[in-house]
Structure 1
């Protein structure tokens, strides 16, 4: 449950986002969504949920959808002769997660006759030469727009992507509305959920803590991937998505195969995967006293559910910068520079 002040802050961010989307869509109602999330990361699924919420408010129709592995420019053209091409938002713009950047640049080369909009991203290129290559490709597209969700990434883009049109827009996950809690707040346990990343963005050391990290508290340490690993529903939808991916591959060779009906099925499957991810995370959080995390969207989920939480940074300041810009304005969040401070803040949450 959000306080009136937190709800006011959230609504202001949503109003800003809707205004930016209306401007970059330029009156279009038909959209294609590229690089839709089809994996275990709850953060991407929360962004997806927020994107869908905004699309519904704006009356947008998804005419074509694909994940990282199933993009087909000819299929897109058949499904959506006119409209705006959107890229799923997130934190993969740059050379840290190269597959997504390669797809982004391929689309920029293929679809020069469409307006293309990258939904809000954080930007990080470790290699200036790779950034210059991206600038040449994306900047060479006549109508390519990049929405950026934090001021540090705007600074990076100004330096490394000078020929690309950029605008600020808050993270899209904030468009999603959390369901009402099924737990009695007064009867909540002393459980603290720790969501700790252990991938190439990890830098806080949170993944080294265990159940004894917070004395006297029931501490559950996990990461997003573990939530889907035990979900039969997730595996069901995931297996179906492999079928849709195979169909998209075959259609590239046999051009007369239908596009629209199979693509609607693909959208249903991707929706199922992301709904399972989000519902699993909500179930994990529900009834918890506090959350400690170094994942941006574990923080955003706690914000939207009104749960007190402590946040540490990732390796390229994505989390801390978004907190400084707007997500730190919610009353339920505290920022920690290290594990010692994070433990102190988590222990201070009243039981």
Structure 2
């Protein structure tokens, strides 16, 4: 088996040409005598929520499977890598798919890659790490159902109750409910040494498509009245983020957030970043339900993070509420126990 794999690696030149040199070099270094966890679908775009999921997931997998080799493959390189990855089926090897909010037809490219992985990597245990699920097209949903149901060993993890219910109803697969992987970073970031001052907004570029102009004006006027420092940013950067620069970019972004006394955001990971940086946060509803579902599932008992909607009345009162509440860090460790137990089964005999 080992010699066959080595010979295949040397001789399959067409496959080598199809893969970027950096990925090719990483795959060449796999020790075929040790178990492997293939972490597939990592982002290289500028969405810092996705980048934080990747950083948290790599740390989590390294902790859970210390004797496994962790092999990370970006989303656009997954399909060319399939021929090699298939050679490692069996034994104690497994496949973990990047989490986030792209299970469904909202991001068809990501769902297409997921279908390829599930349909072609037979013989592997495959776990889809915490995801939100969103299908609008019945035909697309049926296609995913057929692919998922053909898997040998598939586990789907939802990151909030709404998606968990949809997964259980839609797919014939094992399911579990676990927070977004960025929650594992809670209590991990150092306390900021700098004084907090002002408010940071983290808004989608198309916020005006969801809230009318009067609401937008109300929010911005309230912030301008209450704070003399207003920093406008977003959790999505215009340029891509490479694996080598990810940690630095995230640390700098979180440090900037932690220099503010308040975050106002309509981004899911703007809210989660508020949690892990221990920054009081007011959250505005968005158009896909992920924020309300995540708040209802995990953050109901975090009083310094609150959802505000126009029907609630003045946003000033919500701001006052979160700023007057002591910031304490909740412990989410127990909520990851189902995922911990799953990976513990791959440590048997090590």
> How does the TM-score come out when normalised to structure 2?
0.72
Q: Quote the residue 2:266 is aligned against.
A: 294
Count of aligned pairs: 281
Partner of 1:166: 175
Residue 158 of structure 2 corresponds to residue 148 of structure 1:
yes
Aligned to 2:275: 303
Q: How much has 1:126 moved relative to structure 2?
A: 0.8
Residues 189 and 276 in structure 2, CA contact (< 8 A), matched pair in contact too: no
| 5+ residue gaps, structure 1 | 1-27, 230-234, 239-268
Q: Which runs of 5+ in 2 are unaligned?
A: 1-33, 326-350
Alpha-carbon contact 1:45-1:277 (below 8 Å) kept: no
Contact in 2 for aligned 1:32/1:64 (Cα 8 Å): yes
Q: 1: distance between equivalents of 2:208 and 2:166? A: 18
CA deviation string 1:11-30 (max 9, x = no partner): xxxxxxxxxxxxxxxxx963
2:192 matches 1:188:
no
TM-score (norm: length of structure 1): 0.71
2:15 aligned residue: none
User: Based on CA coordinates, which of the two structures has the bigger radius of gyration?
Assistant: 2
Give the C-alpha shift of residue 327 in structure 1. 2.4
Q: Could you say what the CA RMSD is over the residues aligned between the two structures, in angstroms? A: 2.9
User: Helix, strand or coil: the match of 2:168?
Assistant: helix
| Structure with more relative contact order (C-alpha pairs < 8 Å, separation 6 or more) | 1
Write the deviation string for residues 167-220 of structure 1: whole angstroms up to 9, x where unpaired: 212211111244323434xx422x101101136997356995686551141221
Tell me how far apart the structure 1 counterparts of residues 293 and 324 of structure 2 sit (CA, whole Å): 27
Shift of 1:326: 0.9
- Supply the distance in 2 between the matched residues of 1:138 and 1:205 (Cα, whole angstroms): 40
Q: Does structure 2 retain, via aligned residues, the 8 Å contact 1:34–1:88?
A: yes
Residues 1:122 and 1:108: Cα distance change in structure 2 (over 3 Å) = same
* Cα shift at 1:101: 0.3
Distance 1:205 1:96, change over 3 A: farther
Work out the CA distance in 1 between the residues paired with 2:211 and 2:139. Answer: 28
1:274 to 246, 258, 263: 246
Structure-2 change in CA distance of 1:343 and 1:195 (3 Å): farther
Change (3 A) 1:318 1:53: same
- Spell out the pairing of 1:127-276 with structure 2 (5 A cutoff): 127-159=137-169, 161-176=170-185, 177-184=187-194, 187-189=195-197, 191-198=198-205, 203-204=210-211, 212-214=221-223, 215-217=225-227, 218-226=229-237, 238=241, 270=243, 272-276=244-248
- 2:293: which partner in 1? 321
Are 1:98 and 2:71 matched, yes or no?
no
Instruction: Report which stretch shifted further, 72-81 or 275-284.
Output: 72-81
Partners of 2:70 and 2:288 in 1: CA distance: 35
